[in-house]
Amino acid sequence: MEEALSLLASSELFAQVSREDFVPLLRWLAPSEHRYKKGEIVLLAGYPVRELGFLLEGELEGVKPTADGRQLTVGHFAPGGVFGDVLAFGGKESPVTITALQDSRVLYLPASSLLRPGCPVPAAQTAFVANLLAAVSDKYFELDRRLDLLLIKSLRSRICAFLLEESRLAGSATFRIRLTRSQLAQYLCCDRSALCRELSRMKAEGLLETYRGSFRLLQPHRLRCCGPDTGLCPHS
């Protein structure tokens, strides 16, 4: 439990909350912990969300059913990940189903506890709410980024845009991504075999090196030339 509390205290949700204020604030938030077995549903699409979920241990996956019957992966959560924060305050129904990919522990924070008056450490409560709003804002821009990618018609252009942005965020031409090939294919809305085939072509052309989740961009300037409006991409 001490390790879980340390993970929670060091998360972005509790940034600017002192160690002295952390425990009183956490008690005020009245959390509850739940354990899930591998394959168990954590949150079912169509059910209202009234709590923030903080993953203490394990791995979760969020999947959205599409109109044509497919299951679109929309999120993966590692320890420290938060879900439900966008919907909890409105009690809206979840559009996704979240499943445990391995045995997991989740700490739930009731939305009703977050804004009620009388917190013994009001400055910590204010900091927590500010951090929560920042997290929701980050998720908005991540969704906006993905929408921009999906609007690009050419698969190679989509791949280039994704890799260049990941490189920019890492501050290096060599970086790792958190997604498997199957997850990346779903993120880019393409077939896994098509993604692997395109990456193999780009590797053969000397544009990049890749091994599992690691990438090294050998000629970033050529990847930038393969933008959505250049018309320079021979493959799609």
Output the tens digit of pLDDT for each of the chain's 236 residues: 567 778 888 899 999 999 899 999 999 999 999 999 999 999 999 999 999 999 999 999 998 877 777 777 888 899 999 999 888 888 889 999 999 999 999 999 999 888 888 899 999 999 999 999 999 898 888 888 888 888 898 999 999 999 999 999 999 999 999 888 988 998 898 999 999 999 999 999 999 999 989 999 999 988 887 755 443 444 43
Measured CA to CA in angstroms, residue 212 lies from 45, 131, 180 at distances of 31, 33, 7
Whether 97 contacts 63, CB under 8 Å: yes
**Long-range pairs for 17-24 at CB < 8 Å and ≥24 separation?**
17/124, 17/127, 17/128, 18/124, 21/121, 21/123, 21/124, 22/124, 24/120, 24/121, 24/124
End-to-end alpha carbon distance in the chain: 50
Write out the two tokens for 125. Answer: 């409560």
pTM as predicted:
0.75
